[in-house]
Amino acid sequence: MHLLDQRILGIAILLLLGILVTVKGIATGSILDKPRGNLMVQLVNIFNLFFLLVVNPLVAILLITRRLATIDHTHVTIAEPWIVMVLEIIGLLMYATGYFLMAGALVMLGRNYQLGGSAPRSEDKVVVDGPYRLVRHPMYTAALGISFGLVCLIQSWALFCVFCVYLVLIFLLIPVEEDGLQQAYGDSYVSYQQRTRKLIPLVY
Over residues 24-58, the pLDDT tens digits come to 999 998 888 887 777 888 888 889 889 999 999 99
pLDDT, mean of residues 77-87: 90
Q: What is the pLDDT of residue 3?
A: 78
Q: Is residue 64 part of a domain?
A: yes
Q: Is residue 117 part of a domain?
A: yes
Q: Is residue 147 part of a domain?
A: yes
Please tell me the total count of domains within the chain. 1
Q: Is residue 200 part of a domain?
A: no
Q: What is the pLDDT of residue 204?
A: 65
Nearest one of 121, 116, 118 to 51, comparing CA atoms = 116
Q: Is residue 16 part of a domain?
A: yes
What's the Cα-to-Cα distance from 74 to each of 61, 77, 94, rounded to whole Å? 18, 9, 21
CA distance 145 to 96: 9
pLDDT, mean of residues 94-118: 91
Q: Is residue 202 part of a domain?
A: no
Q: Is the pLDDT of residue 202 over 80?
A: no
Would you call 38 exposed, middle or buried from its count of C-beta atoms within 10 A (0-12, 13-18, 19+)?
Answer: exposed
Nearest one of 63, 62, 77 to 156, comparing CA atoms = 77
CA distance 142 to 6: 23
Domain assignment of residue 159, given as a range: 6-195
Q: Is residue 120 part of a domain?
A: yes
CA distance 191 to 110: 22
Q: Is the pLDDT of residue 176 over 80?
A: yes
| pTM of the full structure | 0.92
Question: What does the chain come to in residues?
Answer: 204
We report the CATH number of the domain holding residue 44 as 1.20.120.1630
Nearest one of 26, 70, 33, 66 to 48, comparing CA atoms = 33
Q: Is residue 1 part of a domain?
A: no
Instruction: Determine phi and psi for 197, rounding to 5 degrees.
Output: -95, 165
Spatial contact of 30 and 49, defined as CB atoms under 8 Å apart: no
Element (H, E) at 2: none
pLDDT, mean of residues 143-162: 95
Q: Is residue 86 very low, low, confident or very high in pLDDT (cuts 50, 70, 90)?
A: very high
